[in-house]
Amino acid sequence: MTKKRVLSGVQPTGNLHLGNYLGAIRNWVPLQDSHECVFMLADLHAITVPQNPADLLKNTRETAAAYIACGIDPKKSIIFPQSAVRAHAELAWILGCYTPLGWLKRMTQYKEKAGLSASSPERILKDLKDQKKIFTELTRQVHEGLDNIRLQADSKTITADITQGVLEINEEAAAFLESEIKISEKSKLGLFSYPVLMAADILGYHATHVPVGEDQKQHLELARDIAGAFNRACGEEFFPLPDPLIMPTAARIMSLKDGTKKMSKSDPSDLSRITLTDDADAIANKLRKAQTDTITGITYDPETRPAIANLLTIFAALTDSTPQKIADQYATAQNSQFKGDLAEAAVTHLSPITARMRTLLDDTETLDTILASGAHAARDLAQPILRETMKRVGFWQSA
C-alpha cells in the first residue's frame, strides 16, 4: 500500500518562534516515518502582506534551515519554496473558478488581516429587512392609539422609540457599508484568495493529511469544500478530501507579555516571543521579564492564571512532561527560581537547534542545493496532477 501523503508549510516571514516550533514544525518530525512528507516554505502566501524582497529571501533560507535543524530530514521529506513550483499558482487559478465568493468571505483570518468589521453583511441585511416589520407595527400601534385615549398619550413615546430604533439600524448599516467600501478599495485580491492557493498546495499533491494548528482549520475545511466542488463538476472523485492532522503533542503557546494572546511573529514586542535564533542570554532575559501574576506559588490554572499556565505549558513541552506535573514540582517555588529553571530547560533544548541553524545558514550553497532538489522532487509530484486536472477542465495540452 502507498504511504499516506502529508503536506504542510509555514510562511517564511521571519521571527520563527517557540509557538511555530512547538505548535507546528516539531510535530512534523515523527510523521516522516509513517507518511510521505512534503513541507513547503509558503512564500507565495507570505506576499499576501507587503514583504521586503531581501528579507523574504533571507527568511526563506532561514525557515528552511529551521525545518532541517528541528529534525525535518531532506533525505526523508521534500523541502522547497512554494514559488519554485509553478503548479501551485496555476492550480490556484483553476480552483478559484470553482470557489464561490461567499465561501471566501466567511474566512475569519481574511476579515482579521484585512481589518474588516466583525458584523456580517447578512446580519445588517436582516436588520434592514426587519425595518418593514417595525414600521408595520408602528402604524398598527399608532392607529390603535387613535381609538384609545390612554394609548394616544403613549403613542408619542412608541413613535419616538421606534424611530430611534430604525435610526440606529440605519446608522449601523451606513457605518458598516462605509468601512466595507473603504477596506475593499485598498485590500488586495491575494489576501482574499489566499485560502484558494492553500487548497491548491494541498490538492495539487493529492495530500491526504495536513498537520495544521487551530488557526488554519477553517482553511482546510475550505480546501475540502473546493475539492468537493471540483469533483462534482467533473463527476469523479479526482481530488482526495484532505484530513486535518491534529497533533496531540502540539502546544498552543501564548505571548510572554500577555498570557491571553497567541505568541506571534507579528507582535511588535520582541520580548513577547522566544525565537529560534535567540541566544542563551536573550532567552534568559525574555523569560525573566515574562508576565506572571501576584499570586504566591505556582499552580496550573489556565483560566485564572494564563501567564503562569503558559510558562508551565512551555516548560512541559520542552521537557516532555505535563504542565500539571511541573506545577506540582514548583508548587512552593519563587517565580524567579521557576523562571530560571525554565530558561535553563529552554536553552538546553533550543541551543542545539540554533547552532545547527547557524551552520546551515553559513553554508547557503548546501542549503540552496537542498531546496533545488526539493523543488525538483515537488515538481515531479505536482506536475502530473496538474496535467490531469487540466485534462478534466478541457484544456488543450501538448502530447
| Residue 197 binds to ligand ADP (criterion: CB under 6 A) | no
Between 7 and 345, name the residue whose CB sits nearer to ligand TRP.
7
Between 45 and 61, name the residue whose CB sits nearer to ligand TRP.
45
* Best CA proximity match to 338, nearest among 293, 396, 297, 395: 297
CB of 253 to ligand ADP, least distance (A): 4
Binder of residue 195, out of ligand ADP, ligand TRP, none (CB less than 5 to 8 A by kind): none
CB of 265 to ligand ADP, least distance (A): 4
Measured CA to CA, the distance from residue 378 to residue 88 in angstroms comes to 10
CB of 247 to ligand ADP, least distance (A): 10
Measured CA to CA, the distance from residue 144 to residue 146 in angstroms comes to 5
CB of 48 to ligand ADP, least distance (A): 11
Given the residues 76, 111, 265, 325, the one annotated as active site = 265
Between 264 and 285, name the residue whose CB sits nearer to ligand TRP.
264
Measured CA to CA, the distance from residue 35 to residue 215 in angstroms comes to 23
The grid cell for 167 is 435610526
Given the residues 113, 188, 257, 325, the one annotated as active site = 113
Q: Are residues 290 and 307 in contact, defined by beta-carbon separation less than 8 angstroms? A: yes
Q: Is 113 a catalytic residue?
A: yes
| Stretch near ligand ADP under the rule CB under 6 A, chosen from 32-40, 138-146, 192-200, 264-272 | 264-272
| Residue 216 binds to ligand ADP (criterion: CB under 6 A) | yes
Between 193 and 335, name the residue whose CB sits nearer to ligand TRP.
193
Binding site for ligand TRP (CB under 6 A): 7-11, 42, 45, 198, 201-202, 210, 212, 216
| Residue 311 binds to ligand ADP (criterion: CB under 6 A) | no
Which single residue is written with the C-alpha cell 509513517?
A: 34
Q: Is 265 a catalytic residue?
A: yes
Between 193 and 216, name the residue whose CB sits nearer to ligand TRP.
216
Return phi, psi of residue 254, to 5°.
Answer: -100, 165
Give catalytic residue positions: 113, 262, 265
Residues that bind ligand ADP (CB under 6 A): 10-11, 19-20, 23-24, 212-213, 215-216, 252-253, 262-266
